[in-house]
Amino acid sequence: MNLKQIYKDCGAYLQGHFLLSSGKHSEFYLQSAKVLENPKLAGELCEELAKVIASFNIEFDSICSPALGGILAGYELAKACNKRFIFTERVEGVMSLRRGFEVKKGEKFIICEDIITTGGSALESAKIIESLGGEVVGFAALANRGFCTVKNLNNPRKENAKLPENLPLFALGNFEFDIYEANACPLCEKGTKAIKPGSRGN
């Protein structure tokens, strides 16, 4: 499977001059929603991801995703694995478990995102699960942004990675591209302005 080509075909691999939520700039941006708007494709991708996880004999009971980005991927992965699915969400900036979702003592979870960048949101979800007595046994994502090490791809870990090194991350592909400090961006030097992804129809 060529995940990069799938993202390109879906218009989810954007090229331009983007202002990222971190404040940094990039020539590329991944908009996974454009892949996941195709339910059949989303299902097929998550079946592949389920096979990867199964090949490592990871035993788990449930999947949890951080809202909003992780929900579609997590739900499809849970369907492919025939597991329960819950999600965490931010309430006034604080990641929380709501809507009557419960965690059993010792219940084993995989935390699923659409894309793992540094893994910050996934880690916040993991901490909630653990604080309620659950056990996080791994992380999963359709795509990885090159910071955290993917167990099945074995790319090197970079210093910004937040996911714990002792737990596996599974993903279908790894996207590495440069990000720039706003005051040292070659795209800015060429005279174009960085835009927030999503603000101009992307």
Residue 188 interacts with Zn ion (CB under 5 A): yes or no: yes
Q: Which of 42, 64, 161, 185 binds Zn ion (CB under 5 A)?
A: 185
Q: Which of 6, 7, 25, 126 binds Zn ion (CB under 5 A)?
A: 25
Buried b (16+ CB within 10 A) or exposed e, 121-138: bbbbbbebbeeeebebbb
Helical axes 39-55 vs 71-81, angle rounded to 10°: 60
Q: Which of 187, 195, 197, 202 binds Zn ion (CB under 5 A)?
A: 187
Return the number of the residue (29 or 109) whose C-beta is nearest Zn ion. 29
Residue 29 interacts with Zn ion (CB under 5 A): yes or no: no
Residues whose CB falls within 8 Å of the CB of residue 5, separated by 6 or more in sequence, listed in order: none
Would you tell me how many other CB atoms lie within 10 Å of the CB of residue 13? 21
Residue 126 interacts with Zn ion (CB under 5 A): yes or no: no
Q: Which stretch binds Zn ion (CB under 5 A): 42-50, 60-68, 160-168, 183-191?
A: 183-191
Least distance to Zn ion from the beta carbon of 188, Å?
4
Residue 194 interacts with Zn ion (CB under 5 A): yes or no: yes
Return d(Cα 150, Cα 157) in angstroms, integer: 9
Q: What residues make contact with Zn ion under the rule CB under 5 A?
A: 25, 185, 187-188, 194
